[in-house]
Chain A
Amino acid sequence: MFALRTQVSIALLFAFASCSHVVDRSSNGANGQSNATGSEQQLVAKIIAAPNSISWTGKRHLEAHYLSHGTPTDLVYDETVTTDGHGAFHIVADDLVTPQLSPSAEALFLLSQNRREGFLFRHRDNTVRIEELFLGNYTIADQGATETFVGRDCAVWTIASVITPGETWKLWIDLATGVILKNEERDDQGALVNSLAYLDFTLDPDTSNVVWHVDPVQETPLDPATQGSQLGFAPALPKGVPQGYRLLESTAVVDPTDNSTWARFVYTDGWNELIYMDGGPLTKKPPTQGISPKADVVRTLSIGPWLVCDGHISNHRVLAIGRVSLSSLQALIESALL
């Protein structure tokens, strides 16, 4: 009996130690080394630089096929993107192909897409975020031969996550500019999950009539030394981010609905992104039927590969969004606030 208790105690001690131990996973990717050749590394650098160095416009076709509440759902639409080569951009949603909605609902969807063009360009569009992290967390299989797509010579790569086996994307990358002209994400059965493909592509277009994106919310970079005074509260930073991820940027964001300030931290594994936000002390807890007002409540919603957690813990508003497992987001939130 005593031996059994001892074993249980030791096991719990190890569990406790592993809970409290903060794992620093902010190294250069999961394996810390890359299989990329010199030319592949150069093209990766071009991909990262393209939005700030290349001016282009093109109509593109986007598809998403996912499960929503267990029901297969399709989202297909067209949009036009334009960049000025100095960081400015503009996206116009042109047409919603699937699902078929009433004219007013479709108009509202397209208007909403236009409204969030900044988020779409910066966070939805797949691209390489940090070179060494991407090269450490993803393998690149170059098809070898150059393929022409929308009139451009492209390298065709298949990239695969080292951390999450089965996550693969096929990319068509313009060799001259580094713009990803087509990408396809397929599941482990080979079925198309997400895709983006340019239908046409023009370099250095006339942009004199383009209305460039202006951030609708007030957002300023966070200075770690003064972030407490910037925000009006000390943000709780996650100590256990998912394997392979590290901090990409941190900003203070003002919520236009109530003028409260949030600390926003964007993490990346070099390709995917994960957003964690601390809204500071909760002034008024939202009522939740059947749940004690004193309880910490976090709502989770999963649609296709996307997951959001939204609630309040230890009297802090908290929000996390990513394409990671629920347990990963839960661990991220708990590591920050418990």
Chain B
Amino acid sequence: MDARCQTFRDALIESSTLDQHSSHDCAECAAWARRFRQRESVLGSLERRAVPAELDGRVIAALEAGYREDRAVAALRDLARVDVPSSLDRAVERVAGEVVLRAPTQVSAPDVLRRLVEEELSDPSKARARRFVGSLPREFAPAELDARVAAELAKPERPRRFRSKLLAASFALVVLAISIELAISVRVSRSRIQWVEASDPSELSPMAASLFSGFSGGASELSRGGGAR
């Protein structure tokens, strides 16, 4: 069979109406064409079977962008573990030496480091602020302030009426401070959400990507990197 035979056979497969005698004279191909038409006839006479209803869904699930990560994970899980040849072990041992190989099992990060890393990760802005404030030089009160405080203390005791007013004002300040704390806590709890702008539907969960496609009439799939491209 040469290249012309292959061309003839490809053309016959693509178009069943091709006349096999018109442009190619080869007994082997003629026999192949007869067998091909017989098989085509037999297949054509078979009863047509309905495609299972869930096939559409499975095809979409397999092809949609949101499932790529799942497929990648599944593919990695399916990979067989490759055994390392013993000669590699020996070579590594020779180069690195026993001390280096044993070291990782003996050394561990101190607890304080673990705690600091956790604090850094849980609230990076707070950790940065703490570091920044801690590195600032300490400012001392001016001597004038000391003098004024001493002068105030040296004055005779205030009347009782003034003290009651001071007490009431202090109480009001405490109430205000609690209110402010509550208000700030609400603002802080809101700001703890990190709103991240996604650039592509594939960054969304499969459920969100699927619903967003429907809601936008398919527009989201045609955006950059969408599933239909």
Contact = CB atoms under 8 A, between A and B. Distances in A.
Interface string B176-198: 10011011101001101111111
Contacts of B60: 111-112, 115
A321 B24 CA distance: 62
- How would you classify the secondary structure of chain A's contact residues: helix, strand, loop or mixed? mixed
B64 A112 contact: yes
Interface stretch (B26-34, B135-143, B150-158, B213-221): B213-221
Given A9-B179, A123-B214, A291-B196, 15 more contacts: A19-B183, A20-B186, A68-B223, A69-B223, A108-B228, A256-B57, A292-B121, A293-B121, A299-B198, A299-B204, A300-B195, A301-B204, A301-B212, A306-B216, A308-B212
A23 interface: no
A310 interface: yes
A275 interface: yes
B186 to A, nearest CB: 5
A277 B210 CA distance: 13
Interface stretch (A10-18, A38-46, A166-174): A10-18
B36 to A, nearest CB: 26
A333 B113 CA distance: 36
Interface string A251-289: 000011100001000000000000101010000001010
Contacts of A86: none
Contacts, number: 184
**Which A-B residue pairs are the 6 nearest by beta carbons?**
A119-B214, A310-B208, A16-B183, A109-B228, A292-B121, A12-B183
29 contacts: A8-B180, A12-B183, A12-B184, A13-B183, A19-B186, A64-B217, A73-B222, A75-B217, A75-B218, A108-B63, A112-B218, A114-B56, A119-B214, A257-B61, A257-B70, A291-B196, A296-B192, A296-B194, A298-B193, A298-B195, A299-B197, A301-B200, A301-B203, A304-B219, A306-B220, A308-B215, A310-B207, A317-B205, A319-B207
A330 B197 CA distance: 13
Nearest to B176: A9
B82 interface: no
B221 A109 contact: yes
A115 B179 contact: no
Interface of A: 5-6, 8-9, 12-13, 15-16, 19-20, 62, 64, 66, 68-69, 73, 75, 77, 99, 101, 105-106, 108-109, 111-116, 119-120, 123-124, 214, 216, 255-257, 262, 275, 277, 279, 286, 288, 291-301, 303-304, 306, 308-311, 313, 317, 319, 321, 330, 334, 338
Given A105-B228, A300-B198, A319 B218 contact: no
B207 A255 contact: yes
Contacts of B99: none
A109 B228 CA distance: 5
Given A112-B218, A304-B216, A298 B223 contact: no
A108 B213 CA distance: 13
A115 B192 contact: no
Interface residues of B, number: 57
A99 B222 contact: yes
Contacts of B194: 291, 295-298
Given A111-B60, A300-B198, A338-B190, A66 B204 contact: no
B180 A9 contact: yes
Nearest to A321: B215
Nearest to A310: B208
B60 to A, nearest CB: 5
A300 B211 contact: no
B228 A296 contact: no
A210 B216 CA distance: 25
Contacts of B186: 16, 19-20
B56 A111 contact: yes
B59 interface: yes
Contact of B222 (A6, A19, A109, A216): A109
Interface in B43-65: 53, 56-57, 59-61, 63-64
B64 A319 contact: no
Contact of A292 (B124, B213, B229): B124
Nearest to A196: B217
Contacts of A298: 193-196
A314 to B, nearest CB: 9
Contacts of B204: 299, 301, 308, 310
Contacts of B207: 255, 257, 262, 277, 279, 310, 319
B224 interface: yes
